[in-house]
Amino acid sequence: MGAVRKIIAADDKARGAYLGVTASVRGFQWRERLDPAAAKTATAISQRHGLPELLGRVLASRAVGLDEVPVVLDPTIKALMPDPSCMRDMDKGAARLADAIMRKEPIAVFGDYDVDGACSSALIKRFLAAHGLDARIYIPDRMLEGYGPNPQAIETLAREGAKLIVTADCGTTSIAALAVAAPLGTDVIVVDHHQADERLPDVAAVINPNRQDDLSGLGYLCAAGVVFMLLVATTRELKRRGYYGSHCQAPDLLDLLDLVALATVCDVVPLQRLNRAYVTKGLQVMRMRRNTGLRALSDAAGLTVAPTSYHLGFVLGPRINAGGRIGDAGLGARLLATDDEMEAARIAVLLDKLNRERKALETRMLEEAVAHADRLIEATPDLPMLLVGSEDWHKGVVGLVASRLVERFRRPACAIAWDAKDEGTGSLRSIEGVDIGAAVRAAVAAGILRKGGGHTMAAGLTVARPQFAALEVFLHEQLVHSTGAARLAAALDIDGALTPAAVTDDLLALIERAGPYGQGNPQPRFALPAHRVKFAKVVGEAHVRCVLEAGDGSRLDAVAFRSAEQALGEALLSSGGLPLHVAGHLRRDTWGGRDRRELVIEDVADPRRQGG
């Protein structure tokens, strides 16, 4: 325990400025994550469960209760999944899907073009294939059709013969589009997780834990997580009807958790409760490389180690998304649903190529967006939201640009691609404490937007050029107070201090026990006090690599992603050998055959300019 104790923060005082950092290079105050009340829980966790002190502190600072520790450290589907019937319309949807399976009805799946939509669509297709049905997957063209069901597509599927359409990761707000189905003799089951208005489509079932009358408490699930519960409920219904045995064997649904894990990580939903089990068990399934498409994509991406949450979010996910952003929107779903080795390899190579093209597009667009944002902030420093756009931008990449603007300017952002008809397709991203989805829905209700919707942290919209000025005023008014409060309260939470000598394989294994990490369960963040930055250089796509050296001579590799030409990267490159406080999270870097421990730098502070 001696080495571990060295990395634990020195005291449990009321949280003030950690290491005295009141204004970091990125404008944050550093704060000890563990408050005094949680410190007592941390001690109790360590004592009752026989855990190292550091692990107790990590768990307690993430609001893990004393009795929750066993299931948090070993999250299982059995322990964390509630009865699917707790979700509104779940039993209706399961019964209708069971009917379709027993009658061998033609079924179509209408999915979204992102990772969650692709995974959700592939889950349904694979489940139906196990029951002898070949479902038709329809993914709308992002450029021509936009997000969600449209009347023409629904009519096409119905006239092709589909007796049941299941929407995946969309459909909650598509009232008019889905109304086309019933007169043509087609039923619809909506499976979604986006924010909902009070009025819902008049269909066989709307399964969405974020509909206003759903009391399940499962609104944190992504669409694939909801789909999995539908498959559980449908399997149970078929068993109740005595379907299995004489017709086919009940599928092992746990084999599908690799797709649920991928969607859960890539859709950036909170890694809490059931989602922890989805990702933990899904990664175990993925490591067995059973899914033909995922295996091919991993090979195309050069992934040669057991996948982690990082690989899902930053290696596999972007490649699947690339199809929907700048290529064939259906590529991802087809890849994840196929068992054809040749077809999987072909699609995987194509997605890898499209991802490289997407990166080049993003780089060009981001340069323009940052220049525009700089001008806006220079004119109005307290601007509550950035709205930027261009006629030359690709609508499939604007979401990535909005995300980068949020990272750089620490306020909500909207990037819009304008077409030749003066219609803008925009993607919005937000910061903690600012509900961008609610603001977009309010703009739709006010008649400013043609359509729009989304989550708290991410949303999309369609706006006519004459309404842009009104939209800008409306969103600024909607967000001025929440953005101001969120920016004022912004702090970087620190889990403890360490030196390179303490960064061992044992430490990384200990930290990993409280994973998987992501939204809602942040990676433990550590501070390295007064370390010298050595050999700093720009590498790859604007990343800064360096070596951190402690006073005792011990060293640790480090990287600050996408930081070149920003304050963080400039501070590292120009440190001149003077000591800096450095904050970030640890990871094992295995990319390209490497195997090393490193710190992912998130912030730095000059000790000479702090309060103590």
Between CA 143 and CA 131 the distance in angstroms is 34
Give the distance, in angstroms, between the CA of residue 217 and the centroid of all CA atoms in the same chain: 19
Give the torsion sign (CA, 386, 354, 271, 556): negative
* Topology of domain 79-353, CATH: inorganic pyrophosphatase (n-terminal core) (3.90.1640)
* Maximal C-alpha separation, the chain: 77
The reported pLDDT for the residue numbered 2 is 42
Task: State the average pLDDT for the chain.
Answer: 93
Where b means 16+ CB within 10 Å and e means fewer, 464-492 reads eeebbebbeebbeebbeebbeebbeebbb
Residue 444 has pLDDT above 70, yes or no: yes
The reported pLDDT for the residue numbered 147 is 84
Whether 332 and 118 have beta carbons less than 8 Å apart is answered as yes
The reported pLDDT for the residue numbered 91 is 98
The reported pLDDT for the residue numbered 10 is 40
The reported pLDDT for the residue numbered 3 is 41
For residues 594 and 503, the model is more confident at 503
Q: Which of helix, strand or coil describes residue 410?
A: coil
pLDDT class of 611 with cuts at 50, 70, 90: low
Domains 2-61+495-609 and 380-491 share a fold: no
pLDDT in tens, 507-546: 999 999 998 998 889 999 999 999 999 999 999 878 999 9
pLDDT in tens, 90-105: 999 999 999 999 999 9
Distances, alpha carbon 558 to alpha carbons 144, 324, 491, 569, 583, in Å: 43, 33, 22, 12, 11
Whether 419 and 426 have beta carbons less than 8 Å apart is answered as no
Residue 504 has pLDDT above 60, yes or no: yes
The reported pLDDT for the residue numbered 13 is 39
* Of 251-260, 275-284, 304-313, the least confident: 304-313
Q: Which range among 294-298, 538-542, 574-578 has the greatest average pLDDT?
A: 294-298
Between CA 184 and CA 159 the distance in angstroms is 7
pLDDT in tens, 339-361: 999 999 999 999 999 999 999 99
pLDDT in tens, 171-225: 999 999 999 999 999 999 999 999 998 999 999 999 999 999 999 999 999 999 9
**Does domain 380-491 match CATH 3.10.310.30?**
yes
Residue 454 has pLDDT above 50, yes or no: yes
The reported pLDDT for the residue numbered 11 is 39
Whether 73 and 514 have beta carbons less than 8 Å apart is answered as yes
The reported pLDDT for the residue numbered 593 is 61
Q: Which of helix, strand or coil describes residue 345?
A: helix
pLDDT in tens, 379-434: 999 999 999 999 999 999 999 999 999 999 999 999 999 999 999 999 999 998 99
Residue 16 has pLDDT above 80, yes or no: no
The reported pLDDT for the residue numbered 324 is 86
Domain residue spans in the chain?
A: 2-61+495-609, 79-353, 380-491
Pick the CATH number of 2-61+495-609 from 3.60.20.30, 2.40.50.100, 2.40.50.140, 2.40.160.20: 2.40.50.140
Between CA 390 and CA 372 the distance in angstroms is 10
Closest CA to 213 of 197, 202, 229: 197
